Every structure is written in C-alpha cells, then in structure tokens.
Chain A
C-alpha cells in the first residue's frame, strides 16, 4: 500500500493542477466512460457491483491509487488501475465527483472514517 503521506501529496498536487488549468470535461467524460463496462453508465451500477455515482473525488482517487500501489496485485481492479497514469486517475475521479456532487476536498475518506472509529474508543 502507498502511504497516507504519499496520498496527501498526490491529492494536493493534482488539486493544484486542476485549479491551474482549465481542462476539457468531455475528455474526462470519455476517459471515465471506460469504467462503465463494469460499473454502469455514469457509474450507476446494477447488481453486486460497486457504483461510482456516489463517490467523492478524494475517496475515488485514494481507492484507485491504493489499487495501483498493491505490492502483489491480485484483484482485477488492481490491474485495471495499473493501466492509467496519475493524471488519468485524477480525471476519472474528477468526472465521477461531478455526478456525485462531491468534488475536491468534500469527500470523507475511508481513512478518516477509520480514524474516527479508532478515536471513539479513546
């Protein structure tokens, strides 16, 4: 797994990049549509498959970066994530955040949720 520090760096860097330059949202849409074969059109999955239409930018970015960072990729998504660059993963997360309404900085990451649970026992 990549460290949470590295996650923070990636998220901060990509967030700054997204502010610095306007990008073609339709390019992101095309890129993100390549997830839809498994996760449904616009991320609306059916059946026993995770949807992407409720994902925050931060959570999806972190999940994908985690998958790419697996020491021994053994899940099909670990391998799919390895097919994309950092910037492409950021663009995919950015597109689904438009659908969920949970754009940069508004998501509550699993790490934060886990930390909160841990602190409940403090």
Chain B
C-alpha cells in the first residue's frame, strides 16, 4: 500500500529463508493473534458448502478456514480441476500470455487450508432441507451455503458460440478468439458486441477492443488500409474508464476503431457472419459476441433471483433475500457493485467474516462492524502491447439505505509502461490472496 520501498527488517529476512510451505503455514497462523477469544476457541463441526471455485468461491473458502481457526468445515464444489482466470485473459488473445499461465489449482486450498475440494457439479438446491444435489449422485448437507457461480448468458437468436466466441468465461473460448484474431488481415473487419450493463468486468470489452486494434497496428496497417474494429455497444456510453478509452478510440486508434453506442443486437447468423441490429445489418470477418448477462443457471432455477436477472442479497452478510442460510457473492448477486474477480474477492471477505460470526453466535450488525464495512475494486487495463491504465473504486455500507455506496472512484490520467508492469504485480497478489 505504501508508495515507498520498505527496508527489509531482520524479521523479514528470516521469513525469506523459510520454505514456501512454512511461509504459508506462518501466514495462516497470523490471524490467530488478532481474533477475539470468543471467535477463536469455540469448537465447531458446522459445515459450509461453497459452489463455484472462481475468485469469489476460492477466497470465501480460504478466509472462512483462516478466520475460524480451521474450526468450520468447508467443502468447495466445482466441476473443473483447475480455475482459468478471466483476469488477464485478454492478454492471451493478443499473445502476451499463454492460457496455461492463467490456470490455478485448488491444491493450496486443500493442502494448506484444509478445504475439501469436490470435483462435481451442483445441479439442484433444496433450501428447506439444506441440501445440494450433485451431478455424480448424492446430496451434500450444508449449514450455510455460499453460491459463487459467476455469470449466465441470455440467449441470442441464431448465435453459435463456436463460430462467434464470447471469450467471456476463460478457457477454450479464449483460445478460439485468439485463433480468429491471429487470422485477421489488413483489410479485415472485426466486430465486438458489448452487453447492456450490468455485465462482468465493465472495462474488459473496451480493453479487448484496444488490444485487437493494437494487433492491427503492429501488423503495419496504414491509414489507407481497410481494417476495422467495430464496437457495437448496447449502452449509451463507455461503461468504465471513460476518459481513458475515449482518448484511445479518438486518438491512437481513430483510424481503426468505430465505436457505435446504443446498439441492440437482435440476432446473429453464423452462415453469413452477420448481425441484425437496431442500426441494420453488420457483417464482419470475425465476430466476438459478448452477450447480455444474468445470474448463473442454478440461482435462477432455485428462485434466488426473485424473478429478476440477479440475486438480491443483504450486503452485510451476502445472505439471499429469498432463502435463509444461502449466501451469494460475486457476479450473480444484485448489488450495484461492479462484477469483477477483484470485487468478488472483496465481497468474499465480508461474507466469510459474517459466516464465522453467525456460526459462533456473534452479531453481524454491530455499529462498529457496519461503520467499517467496505469493499473495493482495482483493475488494470492494457491499452497497447506494453502499456496499461487502471481503475480504482471504493464502496462503503450505507446504513440508511442498507446498500453499498460508491465512496470514491478514480482512473489513470494516462496509460503507461509502468502501469503495465504494475498490472502483473496486482494480478499475482490477487491470485495468491484468492487461491494460495
């Protein structure tokens, strides 16, 4: 947090000599000295089930174990053996990173923190019986259930994601988009559709557009070439880092990027590579459909969205407004905080703290806690091959409305190589704080 570099103390030098395993153990032990005795020593066999092993799910599993001094059992359920990070995945599209560099195991959650990791898919929830049904068979009983399943997509007529990838959940889709981008020629047209807000990672689409425009630039495009990146935005304006992206679209990428706001996409046709929109038909050599979004399927099926797109929660605990003992964090919940991995991590800590308090019989609504309930989001956006900008936002609980209120927001005055370097330090620490 400090701007100045620290002078390593003898204590710090000693810690550098320890093995990685010892380091992790000492890190896990540290909270013990700071925890109130009542929260520390109550023996417990309560069971928390976490559905979804992304940034939110991994963080909440880890921090419940840390803050309960390992007294609360936590089971994490995810169908995949590894998590592939959406964060930094645009750098796979422009060939700065390999996808395998964004894959994170659950080994540390299991081996260091004692989380039970189940590779399975949750297919049903019975809120009355407090059980989750698993695809492989059998039911998992929970005292508290935490849902962190990410996003779901709204349907779009005629859309085939194998032809027009979304690449908005990292993995094979990211690889497919990368392949399509690598084939673009100097007279190619690339279209990206941006969903109506709210959607996952508000600056992400604009960042991706910049990197694909940069791809054209680095191929040596001149002002007479026909290459275009057309952004069809369902929103009336740029949704994040407006100053930065406006400057990029109107400046270094003015001959490549066409930004078209207020554009609704009605249908897609993979056979003709065409989109039917509120401004008529668009055709392109490659199309990146980032569809309109909503809460993940399991939440809608269980009725947790209460008829809306997202699941309403109390941000003091992230408990569902529909069913007790079910908590929802990250992209699927309905608070107005931005949907991002960093924010999911932030909400996960508030939720973990609440779960530990609730299970140990402590209040979650003391004035002191409510006065200090904060979340934040920070992210870096690559704008060129080796330069980045950043966005910072802080939220605090507002007792009068019962909502998280934006306290402060800021964005970088300019993109820079220094920011690009800092982006990797940010991501490394975010990955570690969530999964290690």
Contacts and interface: CB of A to CB of B under 8 A. Distances in A.
A47 B424 contact: yes
B408 A33 contact: no
Contacts of A34: 346, 349, 374-376
Contacts, number: 172
A50 B5 contact: yes
A58 interface: no
Given A79-B392, A82-B410, A35 B368 contact: no
Interface string A23-37: 111111111011111
Contact of A98 (B5, B34, B376, B396): B34
B425 interface: yes
Nearest to A49: B425
B374 A84 contact: yes
Nearest to B421: A48
A35 B1 contact: yes
A73 B396 CA distance: 20
Given A42-B31, A77-B1, A98-B34, A37 B429 contact: yes
Interface stretch (B7-15, B256-264, B298-306): B7-15
Interface residues of A, number: 56
A79 B350 CA distance: 21
Contacts of A37: 342, 345-346, 376, 378, 426, 429-430, 433
A29 B31 contact: yes
Contact of B394 (A25, A83, A99, A110): A83
Contacts of B66: 41
B374 A47 contact: no
Interface string B376-405: 101000000000001011111000000000
Contact of A79 (B30, B375, B410, B432): B410
Interface residues of B, number: 62
Nearest to A21: B368
B4 A63 contact: yes
Contacts of A45: 425, 429
A27 B369 CA distance: 6
Contacts of B12: 51, 53-54
Contacts of A47: 424-425, 428-429
Contacts of B390: 76
Contacts of A66: 3
B6 A54 contact: yes
B362 to A, nearest CB: 8
A104 interface: no
B429 A29 contact: no
B426 A55 contact: no
Contact of A39 (B1, B350, B407): B1
Interface of A: 23-31, 33-42, 44-55, 59-60, 63-64, 66-67, 73-80, 82-84, 88, 91, 95, 98-101, 110
Given A37-B378, A60-B2, 6 more contacts: A27-B368, A34-B376, A50-B5, A53-B12, A67-B3, A75-B3
13 contacts: A26-B36, A26-B67, A27-B372, A28-B372, A38-B426, A42-B27, A45-B429, A51-B6, A60-B1, A82-B394, A82-B408, A83-B376, A84-B374
